[in-house]
Structure formats: C-alpha cells, structure tokens
Amino acid sequence: MSENSRTALVVSAHSADFVWRAGGAIALYAARGYEITVVCLSYGERGESAKLWKNPGMTLEAVKKARHKEAEDAAAVLGARLRMLDLGDYPLRVPDSVVCDLADIFREVAPEFVLTHSVKDPYNADHPLASQVAQEARIIAQAHGHRPEYKKVIGAPPVFLFEPHQPEQCQWKPEVLLDISEVWERKRAAFEMMSAQEHLWEYYTRVALQRGSQASRNSNLKIKYAEGFQRVFPQVTAELS
C-alpha cells in the first residue's frame, strides 16, 4: 500500500466469488482512488470449474492455472490487486498459520472496510468458512499482542457481507444497497473474464437489476444496478439523515 492511500480488503472463498458478488463495489471504490486488495482463499478448482473439467485431458494444475488467469484478468478490469492463497477447494481448509498470515494482510492493507461472504450458506461450506476466517483475522489484527514487532494494529473497519447465491436460505438480508450503475459495464466486463462459469453471467446481471430496482424504491434516486450487503457491526454515525 502506498503511504496515506485509502484502502479496502475483500476476502473471497473462490477465484470468482468477488466478481459476482462485489465487483461493482470494487470498481466503484477503485474509481474513487482506493487501493483494493482481493484475497482469494481458493481457485474453486474442484467445485466451481465444471466447464473446464469437461475438456479432454484436463488436470487439476491446468484448472488452477486457468482460474488464476481468469481471476487476475477480472481483478485488473475492476482495478484491484489480487492475492491467491491456494488452500484447496471442496474441501477448503484454513490452518491457524494462514489465519495469522491473513491478519498480517489486514495490518498491511489497513482497510477502511472489508467485504466477504455471508455467515451461513447450506449450499457451499467454503463460503461461511471464508467469512469466519476473514472476521477472525480482523480480530487478531486488532490484538496488540499479535506479532507486536510487525506493523501497528488496525482499528475497527466495518465488515459487509456480500450477497450469497440463494440469500433466503442463508439468512442474509440486503441491509445496504450500493448504487453501482456508473461502473456496471466494468463489472459486466469482469464477468466475461470468468469463462469457466459463463452460466452465471446473466444470473448476476438479473441480481444487479433487482437490487437496483429495490434501491430506487428505498430512495429518491433512479438506480439501475446495485449490489446488496449485510452489515456485521452497527453503523456509528453522528447523523441519522
């Protein structure tokens, strides 16, 4: 991170999750001058790469390589820098040492806000695990006794949970609706980097339109595309307007 830069951190279970669920927020804040770091815990090489596995002679390493390039290209389109941790997929497992490494990333980035997965998802155990790990790493990064020789502790960046694929089943509510209309084309272009999951392009276009309609209904603004987020912590403010 450059000196005095404004920053944000995204913790994504798989290589494409950040694109579908938070690509608009990433592009919007990148356009505002923020340095956005996206950490992917896994490539999604087993459970989220079915299209690639249909190719004759496909191997695990080839799938990882393809997903890495897709994620790298999508992050570049959105204006973020990407860090891949390659912790496996179906199942994803995160050792304590990696939680501490992620805490160090929190301190390095010193994010103003954090985006990650919902805390429940009965369809994909990797997603709530990523949320748990992100929030635990945030807590550790606040602890004065954790690696006191390494950078200063962070404050209390708000955590926003992006929309899961089936929100009703994940006990997730859209408590924040973010207007992403001005960067929608960039988010859609990032979709198209993720060719291994082409079937999701139109699905998440419809999600953005639906949230845009809801955002308009809950404001006096005309909003076409939006992303939904759920807050983990209370909003601290001096104004209710």
Number of H helices, E strands in the chain: 7, 7
Q: pLDDT > 70: what percent of the chain?
A: 98
Q: CA dihedral defined by 114, 13, 162, 203, rounded to 10 degrees?
A: 150
pTM of the model: 0.95
pLDDT averaged over every residue in the chain: 95
Decide yes or no: CATH 2.30.40.10 for domain 7-231.
no
- Tell me, what's the pLDDT at 3? 57
- Tell me, what's the pLDDT at 4? 65
Residues 208 and 212: their CA atoms lie apart, in Å, by 6
Which residues lie below 8 Å from residue 63, measured CB to CB, with a gap of 6+?
A: 43, 45, 49, 52, 53
> pLDDT band at 5, cuts 50/70/90?
confident
How does pLDDT run across 127-141, given as a tens digit for each residue?
Answer: 999 999 999 999 999
How does pLDDT run across 147-158, given as a tens digit for each residue?
Answer: 998 878 999 999
- Tell me, what's the pLDDT at 76? 98
Token pair recorded at residue 26: 């990433």
Asked if residue 5 lies in contact with residue 96, where contact means CB atoms within 8 angstroms, the answer is no
In the DSSP assignment, the letter for residue 92 is -
Token pair recorded at residue 46: 């087993």
Q: Residue 193 above 80 pLDDT? A: yes
Token pair recorded at residue 25: 């927020």
User: Cα separations (Å) of 145 from 141, 189, 204?
Assistant: 9, 43, 42
> pLDDT band at 2, cuts 50/70/90?
low
